[in-house]
Chain A
Amino acid sequence: MLGLIKKDLLMMKQNFKLYAFILIIYLILAFAGQMNISFVFTFFSVVMIFNTFAYDAQNNWDAYAISLPNGRKNVVNSKYLSTLILMLVLCVIVTIFSIIISYANTGSVAFLETFYIMFYSALATMIVIAFMFPVIFKFGVEKGRVIIFSLIFLASFIITIALNVATNIFTSSNVFTEFISKYYAILIPLVCIGIFIISYFISLKLYSKREF
């Protein structure tokens, strides 16, 4: 499996200059107040990992990878782990950038704020990945792309409605709002990580049946 993770990272390295260039521009825009820093982080994580799937599809890599020892399991494991490694690296880069810029601007560093922003961005990214991966493992990157984009639009639509409905229902229920406001710091990460883990098992199941 280590080999497959290395493969993903090596593929990203091949486009290093391009990624670095875009990342710097985005970060500059973000600190100029034109772009949301957590968006930059999520966007980069998702695009970079999605690109590895697209490159894999070029030479039918999946069929090759499956023919290697423990192929199917390793493909799924390595993609989830590559994602986490990528997120960690991006997290460090973006955090360092944030600290430098905020120090240059204000002379002080808002450590806690930066930490919160990165932490919640990472959770948001995990949610996007959690929905994206099973779709790709089931349908492949070509069909998957269409489904994922439709899902994102559909999800944002449903979430907006759900939030409205939920606010209407739960503002009257004090117990629920109290519970949420008390434990959200633990609840939100737990739910996100839970969804990420469930997504992994679904991917494993779907990919074990996939044919090439």
Chain B
Amino acid sequence: MENIIEIKNLVKKYDDFKLGSLDLNIPSGSIIGLIGENGAGKTTLIKCILNIINRDEGSIKVFGKDNKEYEGDIKEDIGIVLDNIFFPEIIQVKDIDTIMKGIYKNWNSEVFKKYLQDFELPRKSIIKNLSKGMRKKLEIITAISHSPKLLILDEPTSGLDPVVRSEVLEIFMDFIQDEEHSILLSTHITSDLEHIADKIVFIDKGNIVLDKTRDELLENYGILKCDKDYFDKIDKKDIMAYKKNKYDCEILINNKNEIVKKYPECIIDKITLEELMVLIIKGEKVC
């Protein structure tokens, strides 16, 4: 499978925060979920890819081309939905069509107008007067009306009610039906990803702490639950992170099949991304 994004040794330094050094490959035709706490570096990474901020070190290739040198070409094929970043509030919904026609070579007014109708977005309203859900839908249809190959979405579902969220996720599922299409989606609402993401990339404090396919995660990762006395009997190298509760312990493991055989008397629960995230960030480490 070809890589749609290739990131090597990426470093971006701020006074109080450092992203990287970071390597990441994103295969084409897949949905990649970028998860992590607020402030972990998800948005910084996305901004580096889009050149909104300048990287300090490393290289970023999108569609096999350097993202700075071939910026114009690359961005023709990218659709974006960014957190709190959009057209000025005073712009009317229908104006977006007029403006984008003069920006993307492949902008398709018919498609855009059809989406506006399908999602019942008022054409003459100014952006300021749209509800949060409506605005998010507008941002998404603006991002896909020039038939991009790659969608980059930063927190596209945060702050939306469950109905709108499922509508929004449906748009993404439609988009990904085309096998050439890919989505890079950052979110802290991890449940969105459990059903749709092919690969999960977990960023913590500016570094990638986990980069696995969803199937790999579901098959190999789990939570072993045991009482406190039993905890000491567990081989330290089997423990990725753990949390001691009042009566029992929750241990994050990454080789479920072996662990089942090794500790037959323990229960191993399936893990959700949320639990995984919390255990990796907040859980205690053995070494």
Q: Do residues B82 and A64 form an inter-chain contact, with CB atoms below 8 A?
A: yes
Q: Does B80 contact A (CB under 8 A)?
A: yes
The answer to whether A58 and B88 touch across the interface, beta carbons within 8 angstroms, is: yes
The answer to whether A67 and B87 touch across the interface, beta carbons within 8 angstroms, is no
Assembly CA distance A209 to B68 (angstroms):
12
Which residues of the partner chain B approach A4 to less than 8 Å between Cβ atoms?
Answer: 99, 102-103
B100 to chain A, nearest CB (A): 6
Return the chain A residue nearest B78 by Cβ. A67
Q: Are A59 and B99 in contact (CB under 8 A)?
A: no
Distance to closest chain B CB from A198 (angstroms): 24
| B76 CB contacts on chain A under 8 angstroms | 69
Docked complex Cα distance between A3 and B98 (Å): 7
Interface size class of B (residues with CB under 8 A): 20 to 34
**A64: min CB distance to chain B, Å:** 5
Check B102–A64 contact: CB distance below 8 A. Answer: no
Complex CA gap A69/B103 in Å reads 7
In the assembled complex, the Cα of A46 lies from the Cα of B80 at a distance in Å of: 32
Q: Does B101 contact A (CB under 8 A)?
A: yes
Contact at B102–A63, with CB atoms within 8 Å?
no
Instruction: Indicate the member of A2, A4, A64, A71 with the most B CB atoms within 10 Å.
Output: A64
Tell me the bound Cα distance from A55 to B127 in angstroms: 12
- Inter-chain contacts of B78 with A (CB < 8 A): 67
Given contacts A6-B98, A10-B91, A66-B52, are A212 and B127 in contact (CB under 8 A)?
no
Across the interface, do A55 and B89 meet the contact criterion of CB distance under 8 Å?
yes
Contact of B90 among A3, A5, A55, A66 (CB under 8 A): A55
Known: A14-B126, A59-B89, A209-B54. A1 touches B102 (CB 8 A): yes
Tell which of B52, B54, B86, B104 has the most Cβ of chain A within 10 Å.
B52
Bound CA–CA A5/B73 (angstroms):
21
Q: Taking A10-B95, A64-B80 as contacts, is the C-beta distance between A71 and B102 under 8 angstroms?
A: no
Interface string of A176-212 (1 = CB under 8 A from B): 0000000000000000000000000000000001011
- If the complex has contacts A7-B99, A11-B90, A55-B88, are A67 and B54 also in contact, measured as CB distance less than 8 A? no
The 0/1 profile, CB within 8 Å of B marked 1, for residues 37-67 of chain A is 0000000000000000001101111011011
B181 at interface by CB-CB < 8 Å = no
B87:A64 contact, CB within 8 angstroms:
yes
**Interface residues of A, dominant DSSP:** helix
Residues of chain B from 3 to 59 with CB closer than 8 A to chain A in the complex: 47, 50-54
Smallest beta-carbon distance B199→chain A, Å: 23
Q: How far is the CB of A157 from chain B (nearest CB, A)?
A: 35
Q: Mark A53-95, 1 if CB is under 8 A from B, else 0.
A: 0011011110110111111101000000000000000000000
Contact A3 B102 (CB under 8 A): yes
Cβ of A59 and Cβ of B102 under 8 Å apart? no
The distance in angstroms between the C-alpha atoms of A105 and B47, with both chains bound, is 60
Name the residue in B90, B91, B92 with the highest tally of chain A Cβ atoms < 10 Å from its Cβ: B90
Cβ-defined contact, A64 with B53, below 8 A: no
Most chain B C-beta atoms within 10 Å of own C-beta, residue among A56, A60, A61, A68: A68
Cβ–Cβ contact B75 & A6, under 8 A: no
Knowing A1-B102, A69-B75, A70-B72 touch, does A211 contact B88 (C-beta < 8 A)? no
Whether A69 touches B50, Cβ cut-off 8 Å, given contacts A3-B99, A59-B87, A63-B82, is: no
Whether A58 lies near B89 (C-beta < 8 A) is yes
Residues on A with beta carbons closer than 8 Å to the beta carbon of B72:
69-70
Query: What's the least CB distance linking A194 to chain B, in Å?
Result: 29
Roughly how many angstroms separate A70 CA and B75 CA in the complex, as a whole number? 8
Cα–Cα distance between A61 and B78 once the two chains are bound (Å): 17
Q: Which residues of A contact B131 (CB under 8 A)?
A: none
Residues of B within 8 A of A7 (CB): 87-88, 91, 95, 99
Q: B52 near A67 (CB under 8 angstroms)? A: yes
Q: Are A6 and B99 in contact (CB under 8 A)?
A: yes
Residue of B nearest to A54 (CB): B88
- The residue on B at minimum CB distance from A53 is B88
Residue-wise interface mask of B (66-82) relative to A, using a CB-CB cutoff of 8 A (1 in contact, 0 not): 00000111011010101
Give 1 or 0 for each of A1-39: 1 = CB within 8 Å of chain B CB. 111111100110011000000000000000000000000
Measured between C-beta atoms, what is the minimum distance from A191 to chain B in Å? 33
Taking the closest CB of chain B, its distance from the CB of A81, in whole angstroms, is 12
Closest 10 CB pairs of A and B: A3-B102, A2-B102, A3-B103, A55-B88, A211-B53, A69-B75, A70-B72, A60-B85, A3-B99, A63-B85
Would you list 10 pairs from A and B whose C-beta atoms are within 8 A, ordered by A residue? A2-B103, A3-B98, A6-B95, A10-B99, A55-B89, A59-B127, A61-B88, A64-B80, A68-B103, A211-B54
Q: A2-B102, A11-B90, A70-B72 are in contact. List 11 more A-B contacts (CB 8 A).
A: A1-B103, A3-B98, A4-B102, A14-B92, A60-B85, A66-B50, A67-B82, A68-B103, A69-B103, A71-B71, A212-B85
